[in-house]
Amino acid sequence: MSATSGQADTAPAVAAVGTPGATAAPPRRLGLALAVIATAQLMVVLDATIVNVALPHIQDALHFSGTNLEWVVNAYALAFGGLLLLGGRSGDLLGRRRIFIAGILLFALASLAGGFATDQAWLLGARIVQGIGGALAAPTSLALIAVTFPEGRERNRAMGVYAAMSIAGGAVGLIAGGLLTSYADWRWVFFVNVPIGLVVAFLAPRVLGESERQKGRFDLPGAITASLGLGALVYGLSSAATSFTNGRAISHWGDTKVIVSLVASVVLLGAFALIEARSKHALVPPRVLRSRNRTGAYLISLCIGTALFGMFFFMTLFVQQVWGYSPVKSGISYLPMVGGIFLGAGLSSNLVGRLGARPLMIIGPAFAAGGMYWLSRITEASSYAGGLLGPMILTGLGMGLTFVPLSLVALAKVPNADSGVASSLLNTGQQVGGSIGLAILGTVAWSAVASNLRSASAAAGSTHLSQSAQTAMSNHALAYGFSQGYLVSAGIALLALIVSLIFIRIKKADLEGVDPMAAPTD
């Protein structure tokens, strides 16, 4: 049976091989199991963008100031990014299915509370709890693939669907957010998670096998320093992004809160590294990072998050402000990219067993870099078909080709005791990368917009410009500034290619039976 099938066929039991005394899980419906895992991952990932579309409506309803409004997004990002490592380790020690279900239920209940929010504190509290639920569910969902799906073709296909959901979630969130806010109400960007989460939590114990609980204790000092350090890093980078007001790019890199946050993150993460090197029950055991291939996979994950999330943000602004798209139309405009991601993930899951991981992890970033460079050629006069369609499909195809072998390499030869934390590091790379992308691309793009406006204003001199001329000048500046941001995204995708060339040395034979529960040998 195909792992992407929705048929109710059963598959052979999957044993926790490599673990003495392990017992096989009962036969499972693989199609339904994959649907549960993929739906949960999509729900968690798209939350980062689905709420963005509703922000103006939330601001009007709950009277957020411009400064406080950013916390509707940041509260979730901080809790999610800061607790991912703890969520992955919790699954290792307490059982991944158990933690997965707990995370999904927490996420759904927090979504329900957020939808009923009547004031700012209520909504922000719900967003924090949503982030906690997401941090529990996301790393365990990837680790559960290893427990549920037989190694080889079935697992590769499952990774393909998981990869597509992970990368396409941002675009799907924009589409869903636009539809819900336009045709229903902003509260439905939260309410929609409730029935989905409840169905996932109901089905999970029936179609997913439970992992064996590992012996050990929680590394409390490591958990505190890692969570606070990652949270400070995400907050500092999110706050550092250059803003644009009244034709001026305002840099926040020198703001006190940014400097304090980034310095605190360096100190806390440094302390975390020291604690992990000496702890008997490390949150991130040093052995997980000893593999050259695995470390390379985490670096590539960081690059993907950096390049992709910044691109989504500025492309949404471009099509709405320059081309005048509605939220619904701008969301739908991403559909070809989503299709490219699914196509790439499908091809990758079928090819990785024949070609190995390294060729795909070179070709994928090369395609993505080419697509983003092509996108940097877009202007205010470009058409959707001529300026946006091709770059989006090529970028999506590249990302889809990359993520399946990336996930397999990140989990290859990880012992059963560490597969949860290995999965969480992959998610952490994307989350931190998204914050880095918005900070760096925001600085480049808005600075270029402001510079172009100053040059155009100086060229116009004292000449009185009509409203249409002012609009044209503004649109040209936005197109120019955003194109500079896309160039940076292309460079970061190219960096992922270079990392693949330098770090990834895993052999095709090693992936023919990737068993995340086998003892590491590299």
Higher pLDDT, 155 or 360: 360
User: Among 440, 486, 431, which Cα is nearest to 74's?
Assistant: 431
User: Among 180, 149, 118, which Cα is nearest to 31's?
Assistant: 149
* Predicted local distance difference test score (pLDDT) of residue 67: 62
User: Among 197, 220, 215, which Cα is nearest to 86's?
Assistant: 220
Q: In the chain, pLDDT over 70 holds for what percent of residues? A: 92
Q: Are 314 and 441 in contact (CB under 8 A)?
A: yes
The band of 149, judged by pLDDT with boundaries at 50, 70 and 90, is confident
**What tokens were used for 502?**
């330098």
pTM of the predicted protein model: 0.82
- pLDDT tens digits, residue range 182-230? 888 999 999 999 999 999 999 999 988 877 777 777 888 988 999 899 8
**What tokens were used for 5?**
């099938």
The band of 411, judged by pLDDT with boundaries at 50, 70 and 90, is confident
The band of 494, judged by pLDDT with boundaries at 50, 70 and 90, is very high
23 class by beta-carbon count within 10 Å (0-12 exposed, 13-18 middle, 19+ buried): exposed
Dihedral of CA 141/146/147/153: which sign? positive
272 class by beta-carbon count within 10 Å (0-12 exposed, 13-18 middle, 19+ buried): buried
The Cα–Cα gap between 334 and 12 comes to: 38
The pLDDT of 144-150, averaged and rounded, is 81
Asked if residue 283 has pLDDT above 60, the reply is yes
The Cα–Cα gap between 431 and 78 comes to: 10
The Cα–Cα gap between 289 and 273 comes to: 12
* Predicted local distance difference test score (pLDDT) of residue 28: 52
The band of 394, judged by pLDDT with boundaries at 50, 70 and 90, is very high
The pLDDT of 129-149, averaged and rounded, is 88
* Predicted local distance difference test score (pLDDT) of residue 440: 86
Asked if residue 164 has pLDDT above 50, the reply is yes
Asked if residue 486 has pLDDT above 70, the reply is yes
The Cα–Cα gap between 518 and 513 comes to: 10
User: Which residues 6+ apart lie within 8 Å of 227 measured at CB?
Assistant: 82, 83, 85, 86
* Predicted local distance difference test score (pLDDT) of residue 66: 63
**What tokens were used for 129?**
């709890």
92 class by beta-carbon count within 10 Å (0-12 exposed, 13-18 middle, 19+ buried): buried
Chain centroid to Cα 369, Å, comes to 18
Asked if residue 26 has pLDDT above 80, the reply is no
Higher pLDDT, 405 or 22: 405
Mean pLDDT is lowest, of 275-284, 473-482, 511-520, for: 511-520
The Cα–Cα gap between 30 and 102 comes to: 21
* Predicted local distance difference test score (pLDDT) of residue 512: 58
* Predicted local distance difference test score (pLDDT) of residue 37: 93
90 class by beta-carbon count within 10 Å (0-12 exposed, 13-18 middle, 19+ buried): buried
Residue 379: count other Cβ atoms within 10 Å of its Cβ.
Answer: 12
* Predicted local distance difference test score (pLDDT) of residue 514: 47
Asked if residue 237 has pLDDT above 70, the reply is yes
- pLDDT tens digits, residue range 374-391? 999 999 999 999 999 999
The pLDDT of 479-497, averaged and rounded, is 94
Asked if residue 396 has pLDDT above 90, the reply is yes
Dihedral of CA 497/481/478/374: which sign? negative
Q: In the chain, pLDDT over 90 holds for what percent of residues? A: 40
Which residue do the tokens 């091709």 mark? Answer: 390
Asked if residue 27 has pLDDT above 50, the reply is no
The pLDDT of 261-288, averaged and rounded, is 91
Give how far Cα 108 sits from Cα of 91, 131, 177, 193, 353, Å: 19, 11, 17, 6, 37
* Predicted local distance difference test score (pLDDT) of residue 52: 80
Higher pLDDT, 514 or 444: 444
- pLDDT tens digits, residue range 324-347? 988 788 888 888 998 999 899 999
- pLDDT tens digits, residue range 57-98? 898 999 887 667 878 888 888 888 889 999 998 988 898 999
The pLDDT of 13-18, averaged and rounded, is 36
